[in-house]
C-alpha cells in the first residue's frame, strides 16, 4: 500500500529517494526516514528491552515500539532545525 505525500512527509520524508530517468518526480521513494531511524535504533532497543519484564510473546513488539518512539524523538529534534 502506498503512502500519501503527507504521510511520507510526517515521517521525515524518504530516507534514500532514487530518481528514475524519464519518470520525473515519480521515482522510487524507498523507506521513510522514520523507518530507517527505527531500524538503526533496533540494536540499542533490544539491549534496553532485555532488562524490561516482558513475556516471550510481548518482547518483540515492545522492542519495536521503543525503536519507533526513539525514531519519533529524533524526527522531532530534526524538525526544530538549527545546529546539532
**Domain range for 54:** 5-80
Close Cβ partners of 14 (under 8 Å, ≥ 6 residues apart): 8, 29, 30, 31, 32, 33
Over the chain (84 residues), what is each successive 10-residue block's mean pLDDT? 66 72 64 89 83 76 90 91 68
Output Rg (C-alpha) for the chain, integer angstroms.
16
Would you say 84 and 42 are in contact if contact means Cβ atoms under 8 Å apart? no
C-alpha cell read off for 22:
524519464
What is the number of structural domains in the chain? 1
Measured distance CA(16)–CA(19) in Å, rounded: 10
Would you say 16 and 32 are in contact if contact means Cβ atoms under 8 Å apart? no
Half-sphere exposure of 6 (CA within 13 A, CB side): 0
Amino acid at each position: 500500500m502506498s503512502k500519501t505525500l503527507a504521510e511520507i512527509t510526517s515521517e521525515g520524508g524518504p530516507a534514500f529517494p532514487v530518481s528514475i530517468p524519464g519518470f520525473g518526480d515519480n521515482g522510487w521513494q524507498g523507506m521513510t526516514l522514520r523507518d530507517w531511524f527505527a531500524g538503526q535504533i533496533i540494536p540499542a532497543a533490544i539491549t534496553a528491552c532485555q532488562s524490561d519484564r516482558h513475556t516471550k510473546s510481548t518482547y518483540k513488539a515492545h522492542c519495536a515500539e521503543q525503536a519507533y518512539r526513539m525514531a519519533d524523538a529524533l524526527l522531532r529534534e530534526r524538525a526544530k532545525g538549527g545546529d546539532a
